């Protein structure tokens, strides 16, 4: 039995064949925002950017929209806004709505994440549970959210997950796993098993845009609600569309499909102040995340954009 925060419960597992389902969403522009982490300022920036998108569009929050929002008013507001769009649950929402013994935050943390971080995350979910417990009407809708969605954009099948093709809290779509030959090989098998042209994920906190031969793309938006690169204070959302984005910070075009990373330039000063009201110096979220919120993680845009060989179908920008 793995320690709380490291295990991946059997109820989280669905397997790639579950992603062969008929698409439930059809759009010309599909926006996907995972890892909002309770940042209402990033949510406002996202909605503003999404409002400017013309045509037939859809917005999906693919999990972990709650995390830092331990103030009940924040939690309730974010819950209401997110659930007005399409949403899937992440491990955070699952462990709020259906807490399981010994699972902790449900993050399924791998070896490279230290024990201190894991313990702090387990305490963060406990504090957030106290908040959601004061808003019990929010729990049934969270419990009812699916773990994955399939969408169609043009002719492309988009499999939207929180973790990876196997499970809600899987790390196979992390930048770390995709930096290995075995990780890339596993991902290619997942495309075959799921019948997907694009996988859109989140959960692992760092973004990656990995192109595969044959016009397949795996896009992990990192975090919508936290900085993703050293020295850059913006969250990221994924946009998958039949037209290019105006303001992508990087992207790839595969035939008719544009897969872009959209920056969410939220009010950093206001968010920092609000974060500190909820998580002052010495608190668990402060210890785990404050440096990242201020400076960004030790990661760069250049490290996030990856391709295997050269593919005549796809070109990065
Ligand atoms: Fe997660």
CA–centroid distance, 178 to ligand 1, in Å, is: 17
82: helix, strand or coil: helix
CA–centroid distance, 92 to ligand 1, in Å, is: 6
Q: What pLDDT is recorded for position 1?
A: 66
- Closest by Cα among 198, 242, 236, 249 to 55: 242
Could you give the CA distance from residue 138 to residue 44 in angstroms, rounded to a whole number? 21
CA–centroid distance, 65 to ligand 1, in Å, is: 9
CA–centroid distance, 5 to ligand 1, in Å, is: 11
- With a cut of 80, say whether residue 310 has pLDDT above it: no
CA–centroid distance, 147 to ligand 1, in Å, is: 11
CA–centroid distance, 198 to ligand 1, in Å, is: 19
Question: Could you read off the pLDDT of 174-199 as tens digits, one per residue?
Answer: 999 999 999 999 999 999 999 999 99
Compute the mean pLDDT over every residue in the chain, rounded to the nearest whole number: 96
CA–centroid distance, 165 to ligand 1, in Å, is: 14
The residues facing 219 across adjacent strands are: 200, 209
CA–centroid distance, 311 to ligand 1, in Å, is: 31
Average pLDDT over residues 150-166: 98
CA–centroid distance, 22 to ligand 1, in Å, is: 25
- Residues around the ion ligand 1 (C-beta < 5 A): 64, 90-91, 203
Could you give the CA distance from residue 314 to residue 217 in angstroms, rounded to a whole number? 9
CA–centroid distance, 175 to ligand 1, in Å, is: 14
Q: For a pLDDT cut of 70, what percent of the chain falls above it? A: 100
Q: What pLDDT is recorded for position 311?
A: 76
CA–centroid distance, 229 to ligand 1, in Å, is: 19
CA–centroid distance, 145 to ligand 1, in Å, is: 15
Confidence of residue 316 (pLDDT cuts 50, 70, 90): confident
- The two structure tokens encoding residue 107: 């993050």
Question: Could you read off the pLDDT of 66-99 as tens digits, one per residue?
Answer: 999 999 999 999 999 999 999 999 999 999 999 9
CA–centroid distance, 21 to ligand 1, in Å, is: 23
Confidence of residue 21 (pLDDT cuts 50, 70, 90): very high
Could you give the CA distance from residue 61 to residue 78 in angstroms, rounded to a whole number? 11
- With a cut of 90, say whether residue 309 has pLDDT above it: no
CA–centroid distance, 172 to ligand 1, in Å, is: 13
User: Is the pTM value of this prediction over 0.95?
Assistant: yes
- Closest by Cα among 161, 223, 159, 163 to 194: 159
Which residues, 6 or more positions from 58, have their beta carbon under 8 angstroms from its beta carbon?
Answer: 25, 27, 29, 30, 31, 85, 86, 151
Average pLDDT over residues 158-163: 98
Could you give the CA distance from residue 104 to residue 114 in angstroms, rounded to a whole number? 15
Could you give the CA distance from residue 42 to residue 274 in angstroms, rounded to a whole number? 12
CA–centroid distance, 11 to ligand 1, in Å, is: 15
CA–centroid distance, 6 to ligand 1, in Å, is: 12
CA–centroid distance, 252 to ligand 1, in Å, is: 25
Residue 95 sits at the vertex; the CA angle it makes with 92 and 101, to the nearest 5 degrees, is 145
CA–centroid distance, 28 to ligand 1, in Å, is: 27
CA–centroid distance, 94 to ligand 1, in Å, is: 10
Which residues, 6 or more positions from 264, have their beta carbon under 8 angstroms from its beta carbon?
Answer: 33, 42, 45, 46, 49, 224, 225, 234, 235, 236, 237
CA–centroid distance, 45 to ligand 1, in Å, is: 21
CA–centroid distance, 201 to ligand 1, in Å, is: 10
């Amino acid at each position: 039995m793995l320690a709380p925060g490291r295990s991946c419960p059997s109820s989280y597992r669905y397997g790639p064949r579950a992603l062969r389902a008929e698409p439930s969403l059809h759009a010309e522009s599909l926006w996907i925002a995972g890892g909002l982490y309770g940042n209402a300022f990033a949510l406002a920036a996202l909605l503003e950017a999404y409002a400017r998108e013309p045509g037939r569009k859809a917005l999906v929050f693919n999990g972990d929209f709650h995390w830092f929002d331990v103030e009940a008013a924040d939690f309730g507001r974010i819950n209401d806004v997110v659930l007005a769009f399409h949403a899937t649950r992440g491990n955070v929402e699952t462990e709020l709505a259906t807490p399981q013994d010994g699972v902790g935050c449900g993050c399924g943390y791998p070896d490279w994440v230290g024990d201190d971080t894991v313990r702090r995350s387990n305490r963060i979910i406990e504090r957030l549970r106290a908040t959601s417990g004061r808003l019990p009407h929010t729990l049934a809708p969270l419990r009812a959210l699916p773990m994955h969605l399939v969408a169609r954009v043009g002719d492309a099948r988009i499999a939207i997950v929180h973790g990876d093709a196997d499970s809600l809290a899987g790390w196979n779509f992390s930048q770390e796993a995709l930096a290995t030959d075995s990780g890339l090989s596993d991902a290619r098998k997942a495309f075959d098993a799921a019948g997907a042209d694009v996988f859109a994920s989140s959960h692992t906190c760092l973004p990656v845009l990995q192109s595969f031969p044959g016009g397949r793309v795996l896009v992990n938006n990192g975090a919508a609600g936290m900085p993703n690169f050293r020295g850059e204070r913006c969250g990221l959302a994924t946009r998958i569309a039949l037209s290019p984005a105006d303001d992508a910070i990087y992207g790839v075009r595969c035939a008719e499909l544009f897969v872009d990373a959209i920056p969410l330039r939220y009010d950093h000063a206001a968010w920092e102040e609000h974060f500190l009201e909820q998580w002052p110096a010495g608190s668990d979220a402060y210890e785990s995340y404050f440096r990242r919120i201020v400076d960004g993680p030790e990661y760069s845009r250049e490290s996030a954009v990856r391709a295997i060989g050269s593919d005549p179908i796809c070109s990065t920008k």
